[in-house]
A and B are shown apart, each in its own frame.
Chain A
């Protein structure tokens, strides 16, 4: 209860469009302690990216708007500061860093890597240009970029995707943020690079006691590295808990379906894939009952007509689900 680095309470973000009000984030609550790695998983469109953009207050303001909740970072409610306020700009980069999904386009193509790095460093620390450049070089070395000094003078288009992602990480590192949010950090990279990037992130987290929030749909990544997992569906958190519990004893039908749908590496390739049938609901027209109901293979009749279930604790430490049913994980799913 005491020293949570970040605590998000009942965050709601809605997009006001000509097609209606889209409730992208519909009241989620989570927290991150110092030095923790927390994962937010879910399929595309479940609101996980929007939730993080909301924390950074980078949501495109028309048409999106944070309509409710609290975002308490180091004891301060960020929503009380405006999105454009000085305090928020202090926090962004310096105390909360964000690494985006698309390394190919996330850097300014007409500026050198070095000048972009130095610009951010000088923004948050009072140093001269030369000093900022030196810090930049050291940071690039820290993220294992060879020939760091030469790379500083390169333009982003001269570097590979993996390198660019490292540079993004380097930027957050240079500012010594206490919390790093990464949105699909490895999706755009090939597999070998993915592993390297995650290794790097993990190392930095351990060395600097930085907290990490990983937003992803890659369950494998999450299993290996995350301390705790929140599963999101249609703008709400449907299950949360420590990684081991979630992976070995999933209790929400959606989580179970997710884990089952991961293809398993077995000797015989005769098994079909097990997708979750159906599609996510229209966020502009959400029903009053459980959002997952149309696709849920378990409690069809029993859950009909009931208002959306609140999160309730189930077995184990801090294991919550938003479900009326008590589905056990009998099948012993492993990844």
Chain B
């Protein structure tokens, strides 16, 4: 098992590098001069050239990339040309905003999704299953910004019980944080619940029809125990995979939710930096996302081993 983990970690490091090289190349190909964009139309050509040199834009592409990697290795994540702030400080402000919305969404969505999926599977064909399947299908089809705007309209504008937008950090004012986070977390969680519920339902249906479930019933075990200890545990592997995929949504920051609810998080800064060709911010943002994604994948793989002894104990 440990050899397996080591191999996976090495591959993950390679993936992170590959992603950063790939993003760097794309940023280079995109038209637009970051220095000119930073200074505006009216700036003189000399000022722009000075900035270009300061940003290392006059050096060959490979050198630029290597300089960036060296900087990161030193812990120097560079400065944003547009925001004129050190990028690590910027990210330290923004990433928590995204995470404090996305992680609760995930923690709500995962158990809820599993429960909905299990109920659907156990009551298959009955009215409850039909309603739940209908709701999950509809939820998956609804674009998240539509849900966002609609919920703002209903709850903030018409009913006036929830705030219009905004974000307050939980360390700053926990009550306000919860109050402002209800709608964005709900909007992020809804499609997650739907996706997880569907996967759970499918896999549970398979699992319930397994022979060993019949044995468990024949042995008189209570139905609840059969569903959750035996059937669900066997169905968990693809379900965990789906949950792992949702983490990517959390980290990527659901830009659309951030836009609708005016949260200055990772998604927003990433896209605005792409638009303003603030290269280094994009590189750091992509680095953060790829590191977390890769870590999550690793955790999911390890969880496979924990759940299913066949994976853990067989020689790889």
By a beta-carbon cutoff of 8 Å, the part of chain A in contact with chain B is: 56, 58, 62, 84, 89-94, 97-98, 100, 102, 105-111, 119-120, 123-124, 155, 157-158, 168, 171, 175
Contact = CB atoms under 8 A, between A and B. Distances in A.
B223 A92 contact: no
Nearest to B236: A110
B307 to A, nearest CB: 6
B221 A119 contact: yes
B218 A56 contact: yes
Interface string B225-248: 100011001100000000000000
Contacts of B233: 108, 110-111
Interface stretch (B144-152, B209-217, B279-287): B209-217
Given A105-B211, A106-B212, A110-B307, A93 B234 contact: no
Given A62-B125, A157-B310, A106 B215 contact: yes
B220 interface: yes
A89 B222 contact: yes
B223 A84 contact: yes
Contacts, number: 77
Given A58-B214, A100-B214, A168-B215, A109 B220 contact: no
B50 interface: no
- Can you list the 8 inter-chain pairs with the closest CB atoms, starting with the nearest? A93-B220, A92-B220, A93-B219, A105-B211, A98-B218, A106-B215, A120-B219, A108-B212
Given A100-B215, A105-B211, A110-B233, A94 B220 contact: yes
B309 A92 contact: no
Contacts of B310: 109-110, 155, 157
B221 A105 contact: no
B313 interface: yes
Q: How large is the interface on B (under 10, 10 to 19, 20 to 34, 35 or more residues)?
A: 20 to 34
11 contacts: A89-B220, A92-B219, A97-B218, A98-B218, A105-B211, A105-B212, A108-B230, A110-B234, A123-B222, A155-B309, A155-B310
Contacts of A105: 210-212
B309 A58 contact: no
Looking at B215, B221, B233, the one whose CB has the most chain A CB atoms below 10 A away is: B215
Contacts of A90: 220
A110 B308 contact: yes
A92 B214 CA distance: 12
B212 A123 contact: no
Nearest to B234: A110
B209 to A, nearest CB: 9
A93 B223 CA distance: 14
A207 to B, nearest CB: 21
B182 to A, nearest CB: 37
Contacts of B223: 84
B21 to A, nearest CB: 40
Given A62-B125, A84-B223, A107 B218 contact: no
B215 A107 contact: yes
B211 to A, nearest CB: 4
Contact of A123 (B210, B220, B309): B220
A107 B218 CA distance: 12
Interface string B148-165: 000000000000000000
Given A105-B212, A109-B308, A110-B309, 6 more contacts: A89-B221, A100-B211, A107-B212, A110-B234, A110-B307, A111-B230
A328 B127 CA distance: 58
Given A109-B234, A110-B308, A102 B220 contact: no
A188 B67 CA distance: 66
A171 B307 contact: no
A97 B216 CA distance: 11
Contacts of B234: 108-110
B212 A92 contact: no
Contact of B221 (A62, A106, A110, A120): A120
Contacts of A108: 212, 216, 230, 233-234
B219 A158 contact: no
Nearest to B225: A119
B216 to A, nearest CB: 7
A93 B218 contact: yes
Contacts of A171: 219
A175 B219 CA distance: 9
A35 to B, nearest CB: 22
